[in-house]
């Protein structure tokens, strides 16, 4: 990377599709124009896990916490092999991280992965604007404002796009050596999820388009539906495959996997105004009214009352979004949030044990 990336302040602008302009400086990979759908994330730490979450494909992440990069980058904390997001927005980038685990600073790491960013942005103003106007396309970089405005208005966003195809694994692979056998559909799976699943099973990760019949030729103890980016309604092949698995094997879904399972059960999804992105979302577990503080990252949600064959198990206390479902007819359940907590609190990790218990119970009677 050149010294220009590291030391010089290069003037840049962020322009939203509605014409709102923010001034800043380029960081990471310095480019004239970068585009994507801008969303904000409220985590206080865990920026590396957020940036490497494949669920952010197609999006530009704005962090509400003012100082980002304080503890640098540790490759052991990445949730995927590389970032899939379109860019990163921060108020103030730390150039000199302080952490014995750190191997490189955030700006250098972003540049090495070709991820553009912009610092010096009034992220409080940006967040307030997104909360009022909703998530929208944006453009940022060193180009002039007119060029950036045109690019933002031409950016399609994530609606109706199959972004899963760009993040899924191209080949099957196996992790863990647990006593049960789980097949995990990779719609954009995170390392933290595989780490939790590996404690209860040997996990075979398969591409998102793998047909259901290939799995049923040698039925696993369970099938896991991972997180992933974009509009669930656009991933039609996944919905069809899940429908073919229901009733044949136990199924557990997280995030996009939750939305896809709900759709396969006959439900509908819709896009939230600005999504849920953060590590502090309160969720009520309806069976005992316990409150879990959860990690979340999604722009779409399951329509309330649209899944007639399933019970709602969890609700978001901020806005009433359906956060969990359990089928009454088949062995299948899902949650909208991230119980693996990478990053985030560990309140909901018990769900992996519930998946284990469901698989054991299913195997005992089949």
pLDDT, residue 3, reads: 40
Pairing verdict, β 21-28 and 59-63: unpaired
Same domain, 188 and 250: yes
DSSP E strand boundaries for the chain: 11-16, 21-28, 34-41, 59-63, 67-68, 87-89, 92-93, 116-119, 136-141, 173-175, 180-186, 201-207, 222-225, 251-254, 269-285, 290-302, 310-316, 322-327, 332-335
Mean pLDDT of 183-209: 97
Same domain, 150 and 14: yes
**188 close to 164: Cβ distance less than 8 angstroms:** yes
Same domain, 301 and 265: yes
> Which candidate, 40, 39, 35, places its Cα nearest to that of 15?
35
> Does residue 333 fall inside a structural domain?
yes
Same domain, 199 and 256: yes
Residue 249's contacts (CB-CB under 8 Å, 6 or more residues apart) are 215, 216, 219, 220, 221, 222, 223, 331, 362
Whether residue 80 is predicted with pLDDT greater than 70 in this model: the reply is: yes
**214 close to 295: Cβ distance less than 8 angstroms:** no
Same domain, 201 and 318: yes
What domain range includes position 169? 164-365
pLDDT, residue 346, reads: 87
> Which candidate, 87, 82, 84, places its Cα nearest to that of 60?
87
DSSP E strand boundaries for 109-258: 116-119, 136-141, 173-175, 180-186, 201-207, 222-225, 251-254
Hey, which residues are catalytic here?
A: 255, 338, 340
Same domain, 168 and 143: no
Whether residue 90 is predicted with pLDDT greater than 70 in this model: the reply is: yes
Mean pLDDT of 14-31: 98
pLDDT, residue 8, reads: 66
At 90, list the tokens: 């921060």
Same domain, 210 and 91: no
Mean pLDDT of 85-103: 96
- CA dihedral angle for residue 338, residue 344, residue 348, residue 354, rounded to 10 degrees: 60
pLDDT, residue 345, reads: 84
Instruction: Using a cut of 0.85, tell me whether the model's pTM lies above it.
Output: yes
Same domain, 170 and 149: no
| Measured distance CA(287)–CA(315) in Å, rounded | 11
> Residue 173 sits in a domain of what CATH number?
3.40.50.880
Of 154, 187, 211, the last residue of a domain is 154
Same domain, 244 and 341: yes
> Does residue 159 fall inside a structural domain?
no
Q: pLDDT tens digits for 260-273?
A: 999 999 999 999 99
Of 94, 125, 154, the last residue of a domain is 154
Confidence of residue 301 (pLDDT cuts 50, 70, 90): very high
Q: What's the domain count of the chain? A: 2
Alpha helices in 74-190 (DSSP H): 106-112, 123-133, 145-154
Of 154, 180, 215, the last residue of a domain is 154
> Does residue 360 fall inside a structural domain?
yes
At 313, list the tokens: 């198990």
Q: pLDDT tens digits for 141-161?
A: 999 999 999 999 999 999 999
Residue 14, by phi and psi: left (phi above 0), alpha (psi -120 to 50) or beta? beta
| Measured distance CA(307)–CA(209) in Å, rounded | 24
Mean pLDDT computed over every residue of the chain = 96
Buried b or exposed e, range 175-211, using 16+ CB within 10 angstroms: bbebebbbbbbbbbbbbbbbebbbebbbbbbbebebe
> Residue 68 sits in a domain of what CATH number?
3.50.30.20
> Does residue 177 fall inside a structural domain?
yes
Same domain, 69 and 168: no
Residue 343's contacts (CB-CB under 8 Å, 6 or more residues apart) are 43, 45, 46, 49, 50, 279, 295
Same domain, 233 and 346: yes
β-strand partners of 278: 296
Whether residue 1 is predicted with pLDDT greater than 50 in this model: the reply is: no
Same domain, 180 and 141: no
Whether residue 307 is predicted with pLDDT greater than 80 in this model: the reply is: yes
pLDDT, residue 4, reads: 44
Q: pLDDT tens digits for 23-78?
A: 999 999 999 999 999 999 999 999 999 999 999 999 999 999 999 999 999 999 99
Whether residue 202 is predicted with pLDDT greater than 80 in this model: the reply is: yes
> Which candidate, 58, 18, 62, 55, places its Cα nearest to that of 36?
58
């Amino acid at each position: 990377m050149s010294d220009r990336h590291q030391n010089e302040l290069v003037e840049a602008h962020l322009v939203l599709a509605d014409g709102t302009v923010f001034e800043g400086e380029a960081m990471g990979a310095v480019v004239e124009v970068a585009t994507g759908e801008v969303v904000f994330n409220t985590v206080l730490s865990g920026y590396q896990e957020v940036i490497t979450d494949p669920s952010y494909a197609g999006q530009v992440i704005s962090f509400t916490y003012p100082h980002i990069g304080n503890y640098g980058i540790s490759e052991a904390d990445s949730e995927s092999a590389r970032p899939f997001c379109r860019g990163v927005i921060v108020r103030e980038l730390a150039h000199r991280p302080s952490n014995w685990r750190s191997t490189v600073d955030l700006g250098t790491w972003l540049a090495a992965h070709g991820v553009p960013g912009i610092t010096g942005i009034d992220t409080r103003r940006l967040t307030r604007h997104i909360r009022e106007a909703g998530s929208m396309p944006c453009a940022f970089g060193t180009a002039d404002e007119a060029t950036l405005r045109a690019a933002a208005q031409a950016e399609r966003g994530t609606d109706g796009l199959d972004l899963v195809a760009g993040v899924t694994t191209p080949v099957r692979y196996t992790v863990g050596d647990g006593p049960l056998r789980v097949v995990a559909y990779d719609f954009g799976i995170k390392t933290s999820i595989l780490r939790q699943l590996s404690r209860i099973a040997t996990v075979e990760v398969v591409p998102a388009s793998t047909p259901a019949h290939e799995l049923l030729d040698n039925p696993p103890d369970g099938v896991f539906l991972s997180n992933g980016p974009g509009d669930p309604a656009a991933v039609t092949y996944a919905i069809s495959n899940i429908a073919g698995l229901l009733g044949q094997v136990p199924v557990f879904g997280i995030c996009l996997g939750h939305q896809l399972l709900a759709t396969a059960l006959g439900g509908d999804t819709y896009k939230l105004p600005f999504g849920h992105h953060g590590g502090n979302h309160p969720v009520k577990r309806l069976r005992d009214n316990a409150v879990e503080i959860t990690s979340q990252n999604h722009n779409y949600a399951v329509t309330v009352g649209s899944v007639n064959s399933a019970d709602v198990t969890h609700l978001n206390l901020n806005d009433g979004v359906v956060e969990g479902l359990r089928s009454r007819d088949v062995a299948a359940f899902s949650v909208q949030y991230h119980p693996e907590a990478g990053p985030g609190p560990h309140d909901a990790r018990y769900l992996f044990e519930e998946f284990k218990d469901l698989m054991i119970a299913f195997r005992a009677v089949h």
